Chains A and B, each alone.
Chain A
Amino acid sequence: MIPVPSTLRARESMNLDALTLLLAAASLAGGFLGSLTGLGGGVVIVPVLTLVFGIDLRYAIGASLVSVIATSSAAAAAYVRDGYSNLRVGMFLEVATTLGAVAGTMLARRLPLAAVAIIFGVVLIWSAFLSLRERSGADAGGPPDRLATALRMDSSYPTPAGPQPYHLRRIPLGWLIMAIAGALSGLLGIGSGALKVLAMDQIMRLPFKVSTTTSNFMIGVTAAASAGLYLQRGYIDPALAGPVMLGVLVGATLGTRVLVKARPAVLRVVFVVVLFALGCEMIYHGATGGFSGG
Protein backbone atom coordinates (compact mmCIF):
# COMPACT_ATOMS: atom_id res chain seq x y z
CA MET A 1 0.00 0.00 0.00
CA ILE A 2 1.11 3.54 -0.63
CA PRO A 3 1.10 6.38 1.86
CA VAL A 4 -1.91 8.43 0.76
CA PRO A 5 -1.88 11.68 2.72
CA SER A 6 -4.23 11.00 5.60
CA THR A 7 -5.53 14.56 5.59
CA LEU A 8 -6.86 13.89 2.11
CA ARG A 9 -8.75 10.78 3.11
CA ALA A 10 -12.08 10.83 4.86
CA ARG A 11 -11.57 8.54 7.85
CA GLU A 12 -13.34 5.26 8.18
CA SER A 13 -15.22 6.12 11.37
CA MET A 14 -17.84 8.19 9.59
CA ASN A 15 -21.55 7.63 9.84
CA LEU A 16 -23.90 7.68 6.87
CA ASP A 17 -25.35 11.10 7.76
CA ALA A 18 -21.90 12.71 7.61
CA LEU A 19 -20.87 10.84 4.47
CA THR A 20 -24.09 11.88 2.70
CA LEU A 21 -23.59 15.56 3.57
CA LEU A 22 -19.93 15.57 2.51
CA LEU A 23 -20.71 13.72 -0.72
CA ALA A 24 -23.51 16.14 -1.56
CA ALA A 25 -21.25 19.13 -0.87
CA ALA A 26 -18.35 17.75 -2.94
CA SER A 27 -20.72 16.85 -5.79
CA LEU A 28 -22.28 20.31 -5.67
CA ALA A 29 -18.84 21.89 -6.03
CA GLY A 30 -17.94 19.49 -8.86
CA GLY A 31 -21.21 20.13 -10.70
CA PHE A 32 -20.83 23.90 -10.28
CA LEU A 33 -17.26 24.04 -11.57
CA GLY A 34 -18.02 21.50 -14.30
CA SER A 35 -20.88 23.48 -15.79
CA LEU A 36 -19.17 26.84 -15.29
CA THR A 37 -16.12 25.67 -17.20
CA GLY A 38 -18.00 23.52 -19.71
CA LEU A 39 -15.98 20.45 -18.77
CA GLY A 40 -18.82 18.52 -17.15
CA GLY A 41 -19.11 17.72 -13.45
CA GLY A 42 -19.08 13.96 -13.86
CA VAL A 43 -15.40 13.87 -14.62
CA VAL A 44 -14.36 14.80 -11.05
CA ILE A 45 -16.84 12.52 -9.25
CA VAL A 46 -14.89 9.27 -9.67
CA PRO A 47 -11.50 10.65 -8.52
CA VAL A 48 -13.05 12.54 -5.61
CA LEU A 49 -15.07 9.54 -4.42
CA THR A 50 -12.16 7.13 -4.67
CA LEU A 51 -9.16 9.27 -3.69
CA VAL A 52 -10.79 11.53 -1.08
CA PHE A 53 -13.55 9.34 0.34
CA GLY A 54 -11.83 6.00 -0.18
CA ILE A 55 -14.91 4.54 -1.89
CA ASP A 56 -14.48 1.46 -4.09
CA LEU A 57 -13.94 2.35 -7.77
CA ARG A 58 -17.00 0.37 -8.90
CA TYR A 59 -19.39 2.19 -6.58
CA ALA A 60 -17.81 5.49 -7.67
CA ILE A 61 -18.33 4.71 -11.37
CA GLY A 62 -21.97 3.77 -10.71
CA ALA A 63 -22.70 7.01 -8.83
CA SER A 64 -20.85 9.09 -11.42
CA LEU A 65 -22.89 7.68 -14.32
CA VAL A 66 -26.10 8.60 -12.52
CA SER A 67 -24.89 12.18 -12.09
CA VAL A 68 -23.90 12.34 -15.77
CA ILE A 69 -27.46 11.45 -16.84
CA ALA A 70 -28.85 14.04 -14.43
CA THR A 71 -26.76 16.97 -15.68
CA SER A 72 -27.19 16.07 -19.34
CA SER A 73 -30.97 15.81 -19.08
CA ALA A 74 -31.29 18.95 -16.97
CA ALA A 75 -29.17 21.02 -19.34
CA ALA A 76 -31.04 19.75 -22.40
CA ALA A 77 -34.14 21.77 -21.61
CA ALA A 78 -32.16 25.01 -21.70
CA TYR A 79 -30.16 24.02 -24.78
CA VAL A 80 -33.18 22.99 -26.81
CA ARG A 81 -34.81 26.38 -26.49
CA ASP A 82 -32.07 27.88 -28.66
CA GLY A 83 -32.65 25.44 -31.54
CA TYR A 84 -29.02 24.48 -32.06
CA SER A 85 -29.08 20.72 -31.68
CA ASN A 86 -29.37 18.35 -34.63
CA LEU A 87 -31.69 15.47 -33.81
CA ARG A 88 -30.75 13.34 -36.82
CA VAL A 89 -27.01 13.62 -36.30
CA GLY A 90 -27.50 12.93 -32.59
CA MET A 91 -29.59 9.80 -33.14
CA PHE A 92 -27.31 8.45 -35.87
CA LEU A 93 -24.26 8.84 -33.63
CA GLU A 94 -26.06 7.43 -30.59
CA VAL A 95 -26.02 4.04 -32.34
CA ALA A 96 -22.22 4.28 -32.06
CA THR A 97 -22.09 5.64 -28.51
CA THR A 98 -24.60 3.17 -27.01
CA LEU A 99 -22.98 0.16 -28.65
CA GLY A 100 -19.62 1.50 -27.49
CA ALA A 101 -21.00 1.96 -23.99
CA VAL A 102 -22.13 -1.66 -23.82
CA ALA A 103 -18.67 -2.76 -24.98
CA GLY A 104 -17.09 -0.48 -22.37
CA THR A 105 -19.11 -1.96 -19.50
CA MET A 106 -18.18 -5.45 -20.63
CA LEU A 107 -14.53 -4.43 -20.75
CA ALA A 108 -14.84 -2.93 -17.25
CA ARG A 109 -15.77 -6.34 -15.88
CA ARG A 110 -12.74 -8.02 -17.43
CA LEU A 111 -10.03 -5.45 -16.74
CA PRO A 112 -8.28 -5.24 -13.36
CA LEU A 113 -9.39 -2.22 -11.29
CA ALA A 114 -5.87 -0.78 -11.43
CA ALA A 115 -6.01 -0.73 -15.25
CA VAL A 116 -9.39 1.05 -15.19
CA ALA A 117 -7.95 3.64 -12.78
CA ILE A 118 -4.90 4.25 -14.96
CA ILE A 119 -7.03 4.62 -18.11
CA PHE A 120 -9.22 7.03 -16.15
CA GLY A 121 -6.20 9.13 -15.20
CA VAL A 122 -4.94 9.27 -18.79
CA VAL A 123 -8.38 10.26 -20.12
CA LEU A 124 -8.72 12.90 -17.40
CA ILE A 125 -5.40 14.52 -18.27
CA TRP A 126 -6.18 14.28 -21.95
CA SER A 127 -9.61 15.95 -21.62
CA ALA A 128 -8.03 18.69 -19.51
CA PHE A 129 -5.57 19.24 -22.34
CA LEU A 130 -8.30 19.12 -25.01
CA SER A 131 -10.34 21.76 -23.24
CA LEU A 132 -7.46 24.23 -23.48
CA ARG A 133 -7.29 23.99 -27.25
CA GLU A 134 -8.63 26.61 -29.60
CA ARG A 135 -12.10 25.97 -30.92
CA SER A 136 -12.28 25.67 -34.66
CA GLY A 137 -14.75 27.64 -36.68
CA ALA A 138 -17.65 26.19 -38.62
CA ASP A 139 -17.51 24.65 -42.05
CA ALA A 140 -16.64 27.24 -44.67
CA GLY A 141 -18.97 25.79 -47.27
CA GLY A 142 -17.98 23.66 -50.24
CA PRO A 143 -19.93 20.87 -51.93
CA PRO A 144 -22.17 18.75 -49.67
CA ASP A 145 -20.95 15.33 -48.57
CA ARG A 146 -22.83 12.50 -50.30
CA LEU A 147 -23.44 10.42 -47.17
CA ALA A 148 -24.59 13.48 -45.21
CA THR A 149 -27.04 14.31 -47.97
CA ALA A 150 -28.35 10.75 -48.13
CA LEU A 151 -28.90 10.75 -44.37
CA ARG A 152 -30.42 14.28 -44.47
CA MET A 153 -28.03 15.51 -41.79
CA ASP A 154 -27.20 18.92 -43.24
CA SER A 155 -29.20 21.62 -41.50
CA SER A 156 -28.93 25.19 -40.33
CA TYR A 157 -28.71 26.97 -37.01
CA PRO A 158 -30.01 30.34 -35.86
CA THR A 159 -27.70 33.36 -35.90
CA PRO A 160 -28.48 37.07 -35.46
CA ALA A 161 -28.19 37.35 -39.27
CA GLY A 162 -30.73 34.57 -39.89
CA PRO A 163 -30.39 30.78 -40.29
CA GLN A 164 -26.86 29.70 -41.16
CA PRO A 165 -26.69 26.43 -43.15
CA TYR A 166 -23.94 23.88 -42.50
CA HIS A 167 -22.73 20.66 -44.09
CA LEU A 168 -21.25 17.60 -42.41
CA ARG A 169 -18.01 15.86 -43.37
CA ARG A 170 -16.25 12.54 -42.72
CA ILE A 171 -19.21 10.78 -41.13
CA PRO A 172 -17.67 7.26 -40.91
CA LEU A 173 -14.63 8.57 -39.00
CA GLY A 174 -16.85 10.65 -36.72
CA TRP A 175 -18.99 7.57 -36.05
CA LEU A 176 -15.92 5.54 -35.12
CA ILE A 177 -14.68 8.16 -32.67
CA MET A 178 -18.16 8.29 -31.16
CA ALA A 179 -17.99 4.53 -30.57
CA ILE A 180 -14.71 5.05 -28.69
CA ALA A 181 -16.26 7.92 -26.71
CA GLY A 182 -19.14 5.59 -25.78
CA ALA A 183 -16.75 2.83 -24.72
CA LEU A 184 -14.82 5.23 -22.47
CA SER A 185 -18.11 6.45 -21.02
CA GLY A 186 -19.17 2.88 -20.19
CA LEU A 187 -15.75 1.87 -18.89
CA LEU A 188 -15.12 4.93 -16.71
CA GLY A 189 -18.56 6.28 -15.85
CA ILE A 190 -17.98 9.67 -17.45
CA GLY A 191 -19.83 11.64 -20.13
CA SER A 192 -16.89 11.76 -22.60
CA GLY A 193 -18.18 15.18 -23.65
CA ALA A 194 -14.76 16.45 -24.71
CA LEU A 195 -14.24 13.57 -27.14
CA LYS A 196 -17.80 13.82 -28.48
CA VAL A 197 -17.39 17.52 -29.21
CA LEU A 198 -14.00 16.84 -30.79
CA ALA A 199 -15.52 14.30 -33.19
CA MET A 200 -18.37 16.59 -34.23
CA ASP A 201 -16.47 19.86 -34.19
CA GLN A 202 -13.09 18.91 -35.67
CA ILE A 203 -13.90 15.79 -37.70
CA MET A 204 -17.48 16.25 -38.89
CA ARG A 205 -17.19 20.04 -39.03
CA LEU A 206 -20.40 20.89 -37.22
CA PRO A 207 -20.60 24.46 -35.93
CA PHE A 208 -19.37 24.58 -32.34
CA LYS A 209 -22.74 25.46 -30.81
CA VAL A 210 -24.42 22.63 -32.68
CA SER A 211 -21.76 20.12 -31.54
CA THR A 212 -21.89 21.09 -27.86
CA THR A 213 -25.67 21.01 -27.77
CA THR A 214 -26.01 17.75 -29.70
CA SER A 215 -23.23 16.20 -27.61
CA ASN A 216 -25.07 17.10 -24.41
CA PHE A 217 -28.12 15.21 -25.67
CA MET A 218 -26.05 12.18 -26.54
CA ILE A 219 -24.26 12.07 -23.19
CA GLY A 220 -27.50 11.25 -21.35
CA VAL A 221 -28.50 8.47 -23.73
CA THR A 222 -25.00 6.96 -23.71
CA ALA A 223 -24.81 7.04 -19.91
CA ALA A 224 -28.29 5.48 -19.65
CA ALA A 225 -27.08 2.49 -21.68
CA SER A 226 -24.19 1.84 -19.26
CA ALA A 227 -26.15 2.77 -16.13
CA GLY A 228 -28.79 0.13 -16.87
CA LEU A 229 -26.08 -2.53 -17.08
CA TYR A 230 -24.29 -1.30 -13.95
CA LEU A 231 -27.56 -1.22 -12.03
CA GLN A 232 -28.06 -4.90 -12.79
CA ARG A 233 -24.47 -5.60 -11.86
CA GLY A 234 -24.96 -4.05 -8.41
CA TYR A 235 -22.58 -1.10 -8.90
CA ILE A 236 -25.19 1.58 -8.15
CA ASP A 237 -25.61 2.08 -4.41
CA PRO A 238 -28.58 4.26 -3.43
CA ALA A 239 -26.82 5.82 -0.43
CA LEU A 240 -24.01 7.07 -2.71
CA ALA A 241 -25.90 7.72 -5.95
CA GLY A 242 -28.58 9.78 -4.14
CA PRO A 243 -26.42 12.57 -2.68
CA VAL A 244 -24.09 12.60 -5.71
CA MET A 245 -27.01 12.98 -8.13
CA LEU A 246 -28.70 15.72 -6.10
CA GLY A 247 -25.44 17.57 -5.39
CA VAL A 248 -24.28 17.60 -9.01
CA LEU A 249 -27.75 18.66 -10.19
CA VAL A 250 -27.92 21.64 -7.85
CA GLY A 251 -24.31 22.60 -8.59
CA ALA A 252 -24.74 22.37 -12.37
CA THR A 253 -27.95 24.40 -12.25
CA LEU A 254 -26.23 27.12 -10.22
CA GLY A 255 -23.29 27.02 -12.63
CA THR A 256 -25.53 27.56 -15.66
CA ARG A 257 -27.17 30.55 -13.94
CA VAL A 258 -23.80 32.16 -13.32
CA LEU A 259 -22.57 31.21 -16.78
CA VAL A 260 -25.19 33.39 -18.45
CA LYS A 261 -23.29 36.43 -17.17
CA ALA A 262 -19.70 35.59 -18.01
CA ARG A 263 -17.34 32.78 -18.94
CA PRO A 264 -14.71 32.86 -16.23
CA ALA A 265 -11.39 32.12 -17.88
CA VAL A 266 -9.44 32.02 -14.62
CA LEU A 267 -11.74 29.43 -13.08
CA ARG A 268 -11.37 27.34 -16.20
CA VAL A 269 -7.60 27.24 -15.85
CA VAL A 270 -7.92 26.37 -12.16
CA PHE A 271 -10.30 23.53 -12.94
CA VAL A 272 -8.00 22.21 -15.68
CA VAL A 273 -5.12 22.16 -13.19
CA VAL A 274 -7.31 20.29 -10.69
CA LEU A 275 -8.25 17.74 -13.37
CA PHE A 276 -4.59 17.29 -14.26
CA ALA A 277 -3.63 16.71 -10.63
CA LEU A 278 -6.50 14.26 -10.08
CA GLY A 279 -5.50 12.45 -13.28
CA CYS A 280 -1.90 12.05 -12.07
CA GLU A 281 -3.11 10.83 -8.68
CA MET A 282 -5.42 8.26 -10.31
CA ILE A 283 -2.52 6.91 -12.38
CA TYR A 284 -0.13 6.85 -9.40
CA HIS A 285 -2.71 5.30 -7.09
CA GLY A 286 -3.63 2.70 -9.73
CA ALA A 287 -0.04 1.85 -10.60
CA THR A 288 0.93 1.36 -6.96
CA GLY A 289 -1.90 -0.98 -6.09
CA GLY A 290 -4.30 1.47 -4.43
CA PHE A 291 -7.31 0.05 -6.28
CA SER A 292 -6.63 -3.61 -5.68
CA GLY A 293 -9.81 -4.22 -3.67
CA GLY A 294 -12.04 -7.21 -4.44
Chain B
Amino acid sequence: MDEPATLRRDQRVERAIGRLLQAGVILAAAVTLVGSVLYLGHVGRQLADYRVFRGEPYDLRSAPAILVHALGGQRDAIIQLGVLILIATPIARVLFSLAAFALQRDRTYVVVTLVVLVVLLCGLFGVGL
Protein backbone atom coordinates (compact mmCIF):
# COMPACT_ATOMS: atom_id res chain seq x y z
CA MET B 1 0.00 0.00 0.00
CA ASP B 2 1.19 3.50 -0.81
CA GLU B 3 -0.58 5.24 2.06
CA PRO B 4 1.43 8.51 2.19
CA ALA B 5 1.31 8.91 -1.60
CA THR B 6 -2.48 8.41 -1.64
CA LEU B 7 -2.86 10.93 1.14
CA ARG B 8 -0.75 13.54 -0.63
CA ARG B 9 -2.66 13.03 -3.85
CA ASP B 10 -5.99 13.34 -2.01
CA GLN B 11 -4.83 16.60 -0.51
CA ARG B 12 -3.77 17.97 -3.90
CA VAL B 13 -7.19 17.09 -5.30
CA GLU B 14 -8.92 18.80 -2.39
CA ARG B 15 -6.85 21.93 -2.78
CA ALA B 16 -7.80 22.17 -6.44
CA ILE B 17 -11.44 21.63 -5.45
CA GLY B 18 -11.17 24.47 -2.94
CA ARG B 19 -9.99 26.87 -5.64
CA LEU B 20 -12.79 25.70 -7.96
CA LEU B 21 -15.41 26.41 -5.29
CA GLN B 22 -13.95 29.81 -4.58
CA ALA B 23 -13.98 30.74 -8.26
CA GLY B 24 -17.59 29.56 -8.59
CA VAL B 25 -18.74 31.64 -5.63
CA ILE B 26 -16.94 34.78 -6.84
CA LEU B 27 -18.43 34.44 -10.32
CA ALA B 28 -21.91 33.78 -8.93
CA ALA B 29 -21.69 36.77 -6.59
CA ALA B 30 -20.46 39.07 -9.37
CA VAL B 31 -23.26 38.08 -11.76
CA THR B 32 -25.85 38.40 -8.96
CA LEU B 33 -24.54 41.84 -8.00
CA VAL B 34 -24.65 43.13 -11.60
CA GLY B 35 -28.13 41.68 -12.07
CA SER B 36 -29.39 43.18 -8.81
CA VAL B 37 -28.10 46.67 -9.62
CA LEU B 38 -29.67 46.55 -13.09
CA TYR B 39 -32.92 45.14 -11.72
CA LEU B 40 -33.27 47.70 -8.92
CA GLY B 41 -32.44 50.53 -11.31
CA HIS B 42 -35.45 49.39 -13.30
CA VAL B 43 -38.09 48.43 -10.71
CA GLY B 44 -36.52 49.49 -7.40
CA ARG B 45 -39.23 52.08 -6.70
CA GLN B 46 -42.03 49.59 -7.11
CA LEU B 47 -43.82 48.23 -4.09
CA ALA B 48 -42.37 44.98 -2.74
CA ASP B 49 -44.84 42.38 -1.57
CA TYR B 50 -43.74 38.87 -0.79
CA ARG B 51 -46.36 38.04 1.82
CA VAL B 52 -48.30 35.93 -0.63
CA PHE B 53 -46.60 33.14 -2.52
CA ARG B 54 -47.18 33.28 -6.25
CA GLY B 55 -44.28 31.20 -7.49
CA GLU B 56 -41.78 32.40 -10.04
CA PRO B 57 -42.73 32.71 -13.72
CA TYR B 58 -41.51 29.83 -15.87
CA ASP B 59 -38.72 31.88 -17.46
CA LEU B 60 -37.04 32.02 -14.03
CA ARG B 61 -37.48 28.37 -13.12
CA SER B 62 -35.49 26.11 -15.43
CA ALA B 63 -31.78 26.27 -16.16
CA PRO B 64 -32.11 26.57 -19.96
CA ALA B 65 -34.81 29.28 -19.72
CA ILE B 66 -32.77 31.30 -17.21
CA LEU B 67 -29.71 31.13 -19.47
CA VAL B 68 -31.65 32.23 -22.55
CA HIS B 69 -33.35 35.16 -20.81
CA ALA B 70 -30.20 36.30 -18.98
CA LEU B 71 -28.26 36.36 -22.24
CA GLY B 72 -31.17 38.27 -23.74
CA GLY B 73 -30.61 40.96 -21.10
CA GLN B 74 -33.63 40.30 -18.87
CA ARG B 75 -32.60 41.83 -15.54
CA ASP B 76 -34.15 39.41 -13.05
CA ALA B 77 -32.93 36.50 -15.17
CA ILE B 78 -29.35 37.80 -14.75
CA ILE B 79 -29.73 37.56 -10.94
CA GLN B 80 -31.20 34.10 -11.38
CA LEU B 81 -28.20 33.17 -13.55
CA GLY B 82 -25.96 34.09 -10.61
CA VAL B 83 -28.05 31.78 -8.41
CA LEU B 84 -27.77 29.07 -11.05
CA ILE B 85 -23.96 29.40 -11.17
CA LEU B 86 -23.94 29.09 -7.39
CA ILE B 87 -26.04 25.90 -7.50
CA ALA B 88 -23.76 24.55 -10.23
CA THR B 89 -20.62 25.13 -8.13
CA PRO B 90 -21.01 22.15 -5.75
CA ILE B 91 -22.12 20.07 -8.74
CA ALA B 92 -18.86 20.97 -10.49
CA ARG B 93 -17.03 19.89 -7.35
CA VAL B 94 -18.69 16.46 -7.49
CA LEU B 95 -17.81 16.20 -11.20
CA PHE B 96 -14.21 17.08 -10.38
CA SER B 97 -14.10 14.44 -7.62
CA LEU B 98 -15.48 11.91 -10.10
CA ALA B 99 -12.59 12.60 -12.46
CA ALA B 100 -10.11 12.33 -9.59
CA PHE B 101 -11.47 8.96 -8.46
CA ALA B 102 -11.53 7.72 -12.06
CA LEU B 103 -7.87 8.69 -12.51
CA GLN B 104 -7.06 6.75 -9.34
CA ARG B 105 -9.00 3.77 -10.79
CA ASP B 106 -11.01 3.72 -7.58
CA ARG B 107 -14.12 1.92 -8.83
CA THR B 108 -16.02 1.96 -5.55
CA TYR B 109 -15.82 5.71 -5.26
CA VAL B 110 -16.48 6.31 -8.95
CA VAL B 111 -19.82 4.55 -8.41
CA VAL B 112 -20.49 6.42 -5.15
CA THR B 113 -19.73 9.76 -6.81
CA LEU B 114 -21.85 8.91 -9.87
CA VAL B 115 -24.87 8.28 -7.62
CA VAL B 116 -24.44 11.71 -6.00
CA LEU B 117 -24.03 13.35 -9.41
CA VAL B 118 -27.18 11.72 -10.80
CA VAL B 119 -29.23 12.87 -7.79
CA LEU B 120 -27.93 16.43 -8.20
CA LEU B 121 -28.57 16.57 -11.95
CA CYS B 122 -32.06 15.13 -11.50
CA GLY B 123 -32.72 17.92 -9.01
CA LEU B 124 -31.58 20.62 -11.37
CA PHE B 125 -32.88 19.33 -14.70
CA GLY B 126 -35.41 16.63 -13.89
CA VAL B 127 -39.11 17.02 -13.40
CA GLY B 128 -39.77 19.09 -10.28
CA LEU B 129 -40.94 16.07 -8.23
Contact = CB atoms under 8 A, between A and B. Distances in A.
Contacts of B108: 151-152
Interface in A82-113: 83, 85, 87-88, 91-92, 94-95, 98-99, 101-102, 105-106, 109
Nearest to B18: A80
B120 A19 contact: no
Contact of B14 (A59, A80, A225): A80
B115 A229 contact: no
Given A98-B119, A98-B120, A237 B50 contact: yes
A260 interface: no
B45 A221 contact: no
29 contacts: A20-B36, A57-B53, A58-B53, A73-B93, A76-B21, A80-B17, A80-B18, A81-B15, A87-B97, A87-B100, A91-B109, A92-B109, A98-B119, A155-B7, A163-B7, A221-B90, A224-B88, A226-B123, A231-B61, A231-B84, A232-B124, A232-B128, A235-B56, A238-B77, A239-B79, A240-B50, A242-B82, A249-B25, A294-B53
Interface string B84-118: 10111111011001001000001011001101100
A99 B117 CA distance: 11
Contacts of B84: 231
A66 B87 CA distance: 7
B67 interface: no
Contact of B39 (A13, A88, A92, A239): A239
A31 to B, nearest CB: 13
Contacts of B15: 80-81
A102 B119 contact: yes
Most B CB contacts (10 A, CB to CB) among A54, A106, A229 go to A229
Contacts of A92: 109, 112
| Interface bin, chain B | 35 or more
Contact of A69 (B56, B86, B124): B86
Contact of A74 (B25, B39, B40): B25
Contacts, number: 229
A241 B19 CA distance: 24
Interface string A22-45: 000000000000000000000000
B44 A238 contact: no
Contact of B87 (A18, A58, A94, A231): A231
Nearest to A232: B128
B68 interface: no
Contacts of A77: 18-19, 21-22
A236 interface: yes
Given A12-B51, A87-B97, A246-B36, A76 B124 contact: no
A253 to B, nearest CB: 10
Interface in B33-83: 33, 35-36, 39-40, 43-53, 55-57, 60-63, 76-77, 79-80, 82-83
A94 B43 contact: no
